[in-house]
Chain A
């Protein structure tokens, strides 16, 4: 079983999944460790021992710290409100910029995070050839200055550092040696073929150091209390998952995870590996795409914030517009009709239209506050109620029509996606080859590296596979220069029959499901042609529901002691 949790601007929420079936959902107001613990405990209920993975979406918490730096102390939960740390942006370039517009970062929010900007001579070109030697003396000077002024966070971005990270590393080491405890972000760790984007990522990463530490500490503590044996992870903006320990050093990857997770969740619930997803957004529908089971991401702007980072983010565009932002304000139905244009061709991926439900973040959450007991009920009602036309595991007919299906998510789609996101890694580099054979060798080498990286991210060895391979010729570069982009995902644990979501299987028509009551009956009596496991699941759903109804209801579990899941889930 998996749990996805979010620390959001208006409270914490979590959802419990078995396979891709929602068992329970919970929401609690407030922020911080106490709120997280409470919501985790509620959603896990009796299955705490069976939870294998807990994934946190901390993006909103991190972004909130960045976007509202001037708020007063605390946001209600009493935790010490961490602030973003003023960052010293160190750029390694052959010459310092002469114009202020070039000296500062083109993106205003990022520029706002930078307390001081320094350029050190050095740098390489796109292919890694050194353009200027690193001026060690200047580095030493800078180190002394930082030590004197008590800087706490430094972001280092060097030209051409993807191909030749040596300069960045040297600078980082010197600064760290001079100022112990300095939080240094080196831009080559973020990848992406664009200095401004990498710099933005590095700056954001450095600025979030304290905030991330606090948030992740709270997550770890909460998870450690409720589900100590589960693996803790953090959802990433590219739709992947990274172990919590690694997220401490690179918190910027957690930014913008909700959108990618929503796409992933929609695709999984619809049982498709390739589809387009129309999400309801605050200003109209947003269209995203899922390919090979992972959301389509590109290095781009953080959804909702507009800052361009070099780490991949979900591409969400307002349907029917030429550029972002000038959306037409159409609601889901109309936008769905428009997005449906061009459907019906053989090669078009089907469209999943997500109805704005009570689970989706587009609508404000139901009244937070003293509804700790009733909140989960309404959610649980939606969570375990029959999902119209979805979830093949329940044996409901999937209502595809003209390549389109409507999806009413049983719970927050982003949370579902957060719980389901797989370990992921990507490689994006520029190579120069002489012929096709060399290209094949380079590609193979990159594939191996990507697979190794995704295994390091927590994938079960042997489960890693490539989901995206792109090789493009770079215009106006010397002949043979290509950009190679590879993405790989893996499974977070050894594949067990229970966890496999079998997305494209079981889309056959099945007898129409009916209300929750029938499920319960079916679960108890085991009739209806369901396999024993599903019967057990339905039974457990009943258990979870009752558990969610209040702490006192836990005693009812004893009646179903025999239904407890054995073994791993």
Chain B
């Protein structure tokens, strides 16, 4: 529990790291609670060394402040296998500064969820920069161009990436898609993950195009999760804080791989998880996965779809279930939260809606 209670968050300190991590997991169920222990330890140690990082709102900054998005591109499993050395984020930041010829004055997360809720704190600490309470996605998306910034027309590049082996590169291309393709291929070769600095912009542009309040809401959700208690109570508190709703609770009966045609451009491949609802109507909940939970079908009826944030809670043990260790027999609760409204606009859906993931369905929110 942080001493800041429920008031506006103004700084993130070492003691907030567990809360931040719990909330970050909630918004991106890709990795279970075991992931990134080293990263967390490191961030905690840095914050303890350098003091808390100020968390500022985008409109509180002077409009022409140079900002950049920091994030880790790649897989958490690769991160666990190849731990960071310590200078990757600062290298990336320096790279982009060199390329632009300007110093960066504030950083914000590329996606305030999962690991990337923590990674910007590293550079913020080491460089003494403030962290902006905004981000580009509001959740995790697999590709770098899936941001509200891109929707608003901000260029994604130049992107500077630095890997754990000491390799770094800068990618510039005409379109965001090309930047993403080249970047991902390189990240794969660099060891599976890389620290990236991207979306260089001014604070005014960020104010216009970014999603705000996303870092502080991680802390709010994290507080609820850490408080613990019976799962039903946790769910109701979470829904009060985050606006999520429960679709159902049941036992995982089937995990099928390669259930949709594979696309090599997209990371990971499609899998399907079947949950047999216990109690209630006893429906069959079918979850379509690819890096993330993309669809929820209840008895075949489309209930939720990307860009809704869909998450699984372990109904017995109370934590977030990571998709990399989901096995048959687990009892899970399926929670759905709406994403930022910009994602439900036609452009947003075109970029990051179900069709962009190869699922030709209409989003239920729009259909209604």
Give A contacts to B, CB under 8 Å: 93-102, 106-107, 123, 125-127, 129, 131-132, 159-160, 193-196, 287, 289, 291, 298-300, 308, 315, 317, 319-323, 326, 338, 342, 345, 347-348, 430, 435-436, 439, 468, 470-483, 485
Contact: B164 with A94, CB < 8 Å?
Answer: yes
Can you pick out 26 interface pairs between chain A and chain B where the beta carbons lie within 8 Å of each other? Answer: A94-B82, A94-B164, A94-B165, A95-B165, A99-B86, A106-B41, A125-B81, A125-B192, A131-B191, A160-B82, A193-B77, A287-B316, A289-B329, A308-B37, A317-B317, A322-B225, A322-B234, A342-B315, A347-B276, A436-B258, A474-B75, A475-B291, A476-B142, A479-B266, A479-B267, A482-B257
**Chain B nearest Cβ from A317, distance in angstroms:** 4
Q: B267 is contacted by which of A308, A323, A347, A477 (Cβ under 8 Å)?
A: A477
List of A residues within 8 angstroms of B62 by Cβ: none
Considering only CB atoms, which chain A residue lies closest to B30 in the complex? A475
Contact: B331 with A99, CB < 8 Å?
Answer: no
Q: Indicate if B241 sits at the interface (CB-CB under 8 A).
A: no
Q: B268 is contacted by which of A308, A348, A436, A481 (Cβ under 8 Å)?
A: A481
Q: Report which residue of B231, B255, B258, B315 has the largest number of chain A beta carbons within 10 angstroms of its beta carbon.
A: B258
Known: A342-B315, A474-B77. 17 other contacts (CB 8 A): A101-B41, A102-B38, A102-B86, A129-B189, A194-B77, A195-B82, A196-B83, A287-B316, A322-B231, A322-B234, A322-B318, A342-B278, A347-B251, A439-B258, A472-B271, A477-B192, A479-B264
Contact: A131 with B165, CB < 8 Å?
Answer: yes
Q: Give Cα A132 to B294, complex, Å.
A: 37
Q: Indicate if B31 sits at the interface (CB-CB under 8 A).
A: yes
Contact: B289 with A473, CB < 8 Å?
Answer: yes
List of A residues within 8 angstroms of B188 by Cβ: 478
Q: Give Cα A21 to B162, complex, Å.
A: 61
Contact: A321 with B279, CB < 8 Å?
Answer: no
**Chain B nearest Cβ from A353, distance in angstroms:** 15
Q: Give Cα A131 to B226, complex, Å.
A: 38
Q: Indicate if B59 sits at the interface (CB-CB under 8 A).
A: no
Q: Give Cα A436 to B269, complex, Å.
A: 11
List of B residues within 8 angstroms of A127 by Cβ: 192
Contact: A99 with B45, CB < 8 Å?
Answer: yes
Contact: B165 with A132, CB < 8 Å?
Answer: yes
List of B residues within 8 angstroms of A315 by Cβ: 317
Contact: A473 with B164, CB < 8 Å?
Answer: no
Contact: B77 with A106, CB < 8 Å?
Answer: no
Considering only CB atoms, which chain B residue lies closest to A430 in the complex? B77
Q: B78 is contacted by which of A95, A125, A323, A482 (Cβ under 8 Å)?
A: A125
Q: B328 is contacted by which of A100, A123, A470, A481 (Cβ under 8 Å)?
A: A470
Q: Indicate if B15 sits at the interface (CB-CB under 8 A).
A: no
Q: A300 is contacted by which of B34, B267, B327 (Cβ under 8 Å)?
A: B34
List of A residues within 8 angstroms of B251 by Cβ: 347-348
List of A residues within 8 angstroms of B327 by Cβ: 468, 470, 472, 485
List of A residues within 8 angstroms of B276 by Cβ: 347
Q: Report which residue of A123, A131, A348 has the largest number of chain B beta carbons within 10 angstroms of its beta carbon.
A: A131
Contact: A194 with B81, CB < 8 Å?
Answer: yes
- Residues A125 and B75 in contact in the complex (CB < 8 Å), given A99-B45, A322-B228, A472-B323: no
Per-residue A-contact encoding for B306-346, CB less than 8 Å = 1, 0 else? 00000000011111000111111101000000000000000
Q: Give Cα A102 to B44, complex, Å.
A: 11
Contact: A345 with B279, CB < 8 Å?
Answer: yes
Contact: B318 with A321, CB < 8 Å?
Answer: yes
**Chain B nearest Cβ from A334, distance in angstroms:** 12
List of A residues within 8 angstroms of B33 by Cβ: 323
Q: Indicate if B85 sits at the interface (CB-CB under 8 A).
A: yes
Contact: A102 with B83, CB < 8 Å?
Answer: yes
- Residues A160 and B81 in contact in the complex (CB < 8 Å), given A131-B165, A472-B323: yes
**Chain B nearest Cβ from A156, distance in angstroms:** 15
**Chain B nearest Cβ from A476, distance in angstroms:** 4
Q: Indicate if B16 sits at the interface (CB-CB under 8 A).
A: no
Q: Give Cα A193 to B79, complex, Å.
A: 10
- Residues A195 and B83 in contact in the complex (CB < 8 Å), given A125-B192, A476-B30: yes
Contact: A342 with B331, CB < 8 Å?
Answer: yes
**Chain A nearest Cβ from B281, distance in angstroms:** 13
List of A residues within 8 angstroms of B317 by Cβ: 287, 315, 317, 322
**Chain A nearest Cβ from B60, distance in angstroms:** 30
Contact: B166 with A471, CB < 8 Å?
Answer: no
Contact: B323 with A471, CB < 8 Å?
Answer: no
Q: Indicate if B157 sits at the interface (CB-CB under 8 A).
A: no
**Chain B nearest Cβ from A134, distance in angstroms:** 14
- Residues A479 and B262 in contact in the complex (CB < 8 Å), given A125-B81, A160-B82: yes
Contact: A322 with B226, CB < 8 Å?
Answer: yes
Contact: B228 with A326, CB < 8 Å?
Answer: yes
